[in-house]
């Protein structure tokens, strides 16, 4: 098997998009170009790393942490100076942490949050509807999941602006904006200092939130959890809670604003929304994890060595034409739809039940009040390509 090699730029950026492609879609077309050239690639960025693009190959890596370790999760950083818990742990240590977190994200626990989530979405959309326009990121896609996350974790709403600055520095740096990770590392330190103070307060005055539970009740193997590990867990929850649903909701509204036939289907048949959420998760998959090779192995024709990094753009797996007929098209009622937008294996996203609920309810409440909308004339949506793919500017308008 030949391995495509791409010089000087990350592999997923090496493909030239089609003429006239909308800026917000260019990355996905680049992914499609990678898929067309084979299931395995080699990038020469930084120390170099492997890139896989088939559903089967990516799923196989994600399911075998003994060979492909989570101790490094950025392709250009095989020896990170940080450890996000539990993401950057391998079993069995990862399993113990997962067992602590999982009860907070069960379908039953999420159902208990349903009315509060719906009330929040409805109030935000009701406030926007009379205006006739909005910046989706600032006015809805950021505010909505953040309020839910703050309540879950027990964080004060008034600190939201600072949280967003830290989140941007940690998750959206590039080789150009933060080449030595200094800005990201500083933001991580600031976040953990913030949580250190919060944990100290919650131990004295526990509340009904995840931080209080973790600080006062959690144990592993009968032992109290070291503060450094609790802080690392809080850092990971912070990053996951403030960015992923925002990014996915932005892409969903972008798609429906620019594809009026799909939008009309959702408005006319709200029962379609759960399937539509799944298809939009598949088509606009945003997460781009990596793994560290622990032993020499030949995989997908790649002579991988211990210490190598393997990049796994989940969008490639979810757009694999061998797994998804007409993979480059959005089919709102696609069945079956076995995408891995939330990952696979032991590290599959623990918050997927919450994310699905947030996305479904947001779509329902938005389209009840704003059924017809469009990308604002004279504006051009943009995207940022950091640890995931996020719409950066998206202006929508509608008649009132």
pTM for this predicted structure? 0.90
Question: What is residue 8's predicted lDDT score, i.e. its pLDDT?
Answer: 38
Domains of the chain with CATH codes = 4-397 (1.10.630.10)
How much is the pLDDT for 45?
87
Report the C-alpha gap between 125 and 253 in whole angstroms: 13
Q: Name the residue with tokens 């719906």.
A: 118
Q: Is 317 helix (H, G, I), strand (E, B) or coil?
A: helix
For 303, phi then psi, to 5°, come to: -80, 75
Residue 32 contacts residue 316 (beta carbons within 8 Å): no
pLDDT along the chain (400 residues), means of 10: 42 44 75 90 90 96 98 93 92 96 90 94 98 94 89 86 82 68 86 92 92 94 93 86 86 95 98 98 94 96 96 96 96 97 96 94 98 94 75 91
Residue 16's pLDDT is what?
42
How confident is the model at residue 17, as a pLDDT?
Answer: 42
Among 302, 310, 317, residue whose Cα is nearest residue 1? 302
Residue 13 pLDDT: 42
**How far is Cα 58 from Cα 310, in angstroms, rounded to an integer?**
10
Cβ-defined contacts of 237-241 (< 8 Å, 24+): 237/153, 237/210, 238/153, 238/163, 238/166, 238/167, 238/191, 238/195, 239/84, 239/167, 239/170, 239/171, 240/349, 240/351, 241/145, 241/146, 241/149, 241/152, 241/153, 241/351
Per-residue model confidence (pLDDT) at position 11:
45
Residue 225 tokens, joined: 């959890």
Q: What is the pLDDT of residue 337?
A: 97
Is there a contact between 310 and 49 (Cβ–Cβ < 8 Å)? yes
**Helix ranges restricted to H, 131-218:** 136, 143-153, 160-171, 182-204, 210-216
In angstroms, what CA-CA distances link 360 with 81, 185, 279, 281, 364?
A: 37, 34, 12, 11, 6
**pLDDT given for residue 172 in this prediction:** 67
Reading the block at residue 329, the tokens are 């098209």
**pLDDT tens digits for 2-35?**
344 443 334 444 434 454 456 668 888 888 888 9
Asked if 366 contacts 253 with a C-beta cutoff of 8 angstroms, the reply is yes
């Amino acid at each position: 098997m030949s391995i495509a090699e791409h010089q000087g730029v990350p592999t997923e950026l090496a493909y030239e998009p089609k003429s006239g492609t909308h800026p917000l879609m260019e990355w996905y077309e680049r992914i499609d170009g990678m898929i067309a050239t084979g299931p395995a690639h080699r990038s020469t960025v930084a120390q170099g790393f492997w890139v896989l693009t088939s559903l089967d190959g990516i799923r196989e890596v994600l399911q075998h942490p003994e060979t492909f370790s989570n101790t490094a999760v950025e392709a250009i950083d095989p020896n990170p100076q940080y450890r996000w818990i539990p993401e950057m742990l391998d079993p069995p240590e990862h399993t113990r942490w997962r067992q602590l977190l999982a009860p907070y994200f069960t379908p039953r626990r999420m159902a208990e949050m349903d009315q509060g989530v719906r009330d929040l979405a409805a109030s935000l959309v009701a406030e926007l509807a009379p205006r006739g326009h909005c910046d989706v990121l600032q006015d809805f896609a950021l505010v909505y999941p953040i309020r839910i996350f703050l309540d879950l974790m027990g964080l004060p709403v008034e600190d939201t602006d600072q949280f967003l600055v830290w989140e941007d520095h940690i998750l959206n740096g590039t080789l150009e904006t933060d080449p030595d990770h200094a800005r990201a590392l500083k933001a991580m330190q600031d976040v953990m200092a913030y949580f250190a103070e919060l944990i100290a307060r919650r131990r004295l005055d526990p509340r009904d939130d995840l931080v209080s539970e973790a600080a006062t009740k959690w144990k592993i193997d009968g032992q109290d959890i070291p503060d450094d590990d609790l802080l690392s867990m809080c850092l990971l929850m912070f990053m996951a809670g403030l960015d992923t649903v925002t990014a996915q909701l932005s892409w969903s509204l972008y798609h429906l604003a620019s594809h009026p036939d799909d939008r009309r289907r959702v408005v006319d048949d709200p029962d379609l929304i759960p399937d539509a959420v799944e298809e939009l998760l598949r088509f606009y998959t945003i997460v781009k994890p990596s793994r560290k090779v622990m032993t020499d192995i030949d995989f997908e024709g790649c002579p991988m060595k211990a210490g190598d990094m393997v990049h796994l753009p989940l969008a490639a797996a979810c757009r694999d034409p061998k797994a998804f007929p007409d993979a480059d098209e959005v089919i709102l009622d696609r069945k079956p739809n076995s995408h891995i937008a939330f990952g696979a294996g032991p590290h599959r996203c623990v918050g997927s039940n919450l994310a699905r609920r947030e996305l479904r309810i947001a779509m329902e409440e938005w389209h009840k009040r704003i059924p017809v909308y469009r990308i604002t004339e004279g504006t051009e949506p943009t995207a940022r390509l950091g640890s995931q793919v996020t719409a950066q500017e998206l202006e929508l308008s509608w008649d009132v």
